Chains A and B, each alone.
Chain A
Amino acid sequence: MATAFELAPAIAALPLAAFVVVLLVGDSMPKKGAFAGIIATAGSLVLSLWALATVAGGEVYNQELYEWAAGEEIAFHFGILIDPLSALMLVIVSLVALLVHVFSLGYMNEEGETGLPRYYAELGLFTFSMLAFVYADNLLMAFMFFELVGLCSYLLIGFWFRTPSASSAAKKAFLVTRFGDYFFLIGVVGIAATFGTLSFAGESSFVVAAEEAISGGETLFGFGAETWVTILGLLVLGGVIGKSAQFPLHTWLPDAMEGPTTVSALIHAATMVAAGVYLVARMYGFYALSPTALAIIAFVGGFTALFAASMGVVKDDIKQVLAYSTISQYGYMMLGLGVGGYVAGVFHLMNHAFFKALLFLGAGAVIILMHHEQDMWKMGGLKDQAPVAYYTFLAGALALAGIVPFSGFWSKDEVLYDALILGLEEPIFLIAYAMGLIAVFFTGFYTFRMVFLTFHGEPRSEAARDPHPIGAAVKLPLIVLGVLAVVAGIVNLAPIAKLTGAEIVFLEHWLDGEYGAVEGLTYHEYHELMGHETSYIGSETLTMLLGAALSLGLAFAGAGLAWTLYNVPEPKEHTRRLGRAREVLGNNYYQDEYQVWLARDLTLPFSRTADRFDQSVIDGVVNGVSSVSLFGSGRMKRLQTGVVTNYAALLVLGFLALLVIFGINGGWFV
Chain B
Amino acid sequence: MALVQLESWMALAPTLLLALSALALFVIDSIDPDTTNRPLLAGTATVGSLASLAVAVWFITTGVGDPARRGELALFGDQLIVDQMALFFMVIVAVVTALISIASYDYLRGHVYQSEYYSLVLLAATGMSTMATANSLVTVFIALELASLPSYALVSILKDNRGSVEAGLKYFLIGALSSAIFVYGISLVYGATGHLQLEAVAENVGAEGFDGLLGVGVLMVIGGVAYKTASVPFHFWAPEAYEGAPAPIAAFLSSASKAAGFVIAFRIFTTAFPLEAMTEIGFDWTMAFVVLAIVTMTVGNFAAATQENVKRMLAYSSVGHAGYALIGLAGLAVDGGQIVLAAAMMHLFVYGFMNTGAFLFVAMAEYWGVGRTFEDYNGLSSQAPVACGALAVFMFSLAGVPPFGGFFSKYFLFTGILETASGNPWLLAVAAALVINSALSLYYYARLVKAVWFEDPVAGRGQLTQPTGLYVAVVLAGVMTVLVLPGFGPVADAAYAAASALGP
Contacts and interface: CB of A to CB of B under 8 A. Distances in A.
B206 to A, nearest CB: 12
A658 interface: yes
A647 B302 contact: no
A644 B215 contact: no
A655 B220 CA distance: 8
A631 to B, nearest CB: 9
A654 B233 contact: yes
A638 to B, nearest CB: 9
A640 B170 CA distance: 12
A667 B282 contact: yes
B307 A668 contact: no
A579 interface: no
B291 A658 contact: yes
Contacts of A650: 233, 236
A666 B236 contact: no
Contacts of B307: 637
A632 B213 CA distance: 37
Contacts of B304: 633
Contacts of A502: none
A648 B177 contact: yes
Contact of A640 (B174, B239, B284, B291): B239
Given A644-B170, A663-B212, A639 B303 contact: yes
A658 B178 contact: no
A644 B169 contact: yes
A197 to B, nearest CB: 28
A636 B177 CA distance: 23
A25 interface: no
A668 B211 contact: yes
A662 B169 contact: no
Given A666-B215, A669-B212, A637 B282 contact: no
Contacts of B169: 644
Q: Which 9 A-B pairs have the closest CB atoms?
A: A654-B233, A668-B212, A666-B282, A647-B236, A636-B303, A633-B305, A636-B302, A633-B306, A668-B215
Query: By DSSP majority rule, is chain A's interface helix, strand, loop, or mixed?
Result: helix
Given A651-B178, A654-B234, A659-B216, 7 more contacts: A633-B304, A654-B233, A655-B181, A659-B219, A662-B287, A666-B215, A668-B211
Contacts of B174: 644, 647-648, 651
A624 to B, nearest CB: 14
Q: Indicate the member of B212, B237, B302 with the most A CB atoms within 10 Å.
A: B302
A642 B239 CA distance: 10
Contacts, number: 93
Interface string B280-295: 0111100110010000
B85 interface: no
A653 B281 CA distance: 24
A661 B287 CA distance: 11
B466 to A, nearest CB: 35
Contacts of B305: 629-630, 633
A647 B303 contact: no
A501 interface: no
23 contacts: A630-B305, A632-B302, A633-B302, A633-B303, A633-B306, A635-B302, A636-B303, A637-B303, A637-B307, A639-B303, A640-B236, A640-B303, A644-B170, A644-B174, A647-B170, A650-B233, A651-B233, A661-B291, A662-B215, A662-B287, A663-B212, A666-B282, A668-B212
Interface in B289-329: 291, 299, 302-307
B166 to A, nearest CB: 9
Interface of A: 626, 629-630, 632-637, 639-640, 642, 644, 647-648, 650-655, 658-659, 661-663, 665-670
Q: What range describes how many residues of B lie at the interface?
A: 35 or more
Interface string B221-254: 0110000000011101101100000000000000
Contacts of B284: 666
A552 to B, nearest CB: 65
B458 interface: no
> Which of B222, B304, B306 has the most chain A CB within a 10 Å cutoff?
B306
B173 interface: yes
Contacts of B480: none
A632 B233 CA distance: 17
Nearest to B237: A647
Nearest to B177: A648
Contacts of B24: none
B287 A637 contact: no
A632 B484 CA distance: 34
Question: Which of A635, A636, A639, A666: most chain B CB closer than 10 A?
Answer: A666
- Determine the main DSSP class of B at the interface with A: helix
A662 B288 contact: yes
Contacts of B16: none
Nearest to B210: A668
Contact of B282 (A642, A644, A661, A668): A668
A647 B219 CA distance: 19
Contact of A666 (B170, B181, B281, B440): B281
A655 B389 CA distance: 42
B216 A663 contact: yes
A629 B288 CA distance: 25
Nearest to A629: B440
A93 B35 CA distance: 81
B306 A639 contact: no
Contacts of B299: 636, 639
A410 to B, nearest CB: 58
Given A651-B178, A651-B234, A629 B282 contact: no
Contact of A662 (B219, B303, B306): B219
Contacts of A639: 236, 299, 303
Contacts of A629: 302, 305, 440, 443
A650 B295 CA distance: 14
A639 B288 CA distance: 21
B278 to A, nearest CB: 9
Nearest to B281: A666
A653 B177 CA distance: 13
A331 B233 CA distance: 75
A272 B486 CA distance: 41
Contacts of A665: 282
Nearest to B306: A633
A626 B440 CA distance: 8
A634 B316 CA distance: 13
Contacts of A652: 177
Contacts of A633: 302-306
B108 to A, nearest CB: 28
Contacts of A655: 181, 219-220, 223, 233-234
A581 B398 CA distance: 70
B386 to A, nearest CB: 30
A654 B440 CA distance: 25
Nearest to B211: A668
Interface string B374-395: 0000000000000000000000
A646 to B, nearest CB: 8
B312 to A, nearest CB: 9
Given A629-B302, A636-B299, A648 B173 contact: yes
A668 B236 contact: no
* Chain B CB within 10 Å, residue with most, of A642, A647, A652: A647
B89 to A, nearest CB: 26
A635 B303 CA distance: 8
A630 B305 CA distance: 7
Nearest to A637: B303
A211 B219 CA distance: 65
Contacts of A644: 169-170, 173-174
Contacts of A647: 170, 174, 236-237
A632 to B, nearest CB: 5
A667 B211 CA distance: 9
A642 to B, nearest CB: 8
A661 B212 CA distance: 13
A655 to B, nearest CB: 5
B283 A662 contact: yes
A551 B78 CA distance: 100
Contacts of A670: 212
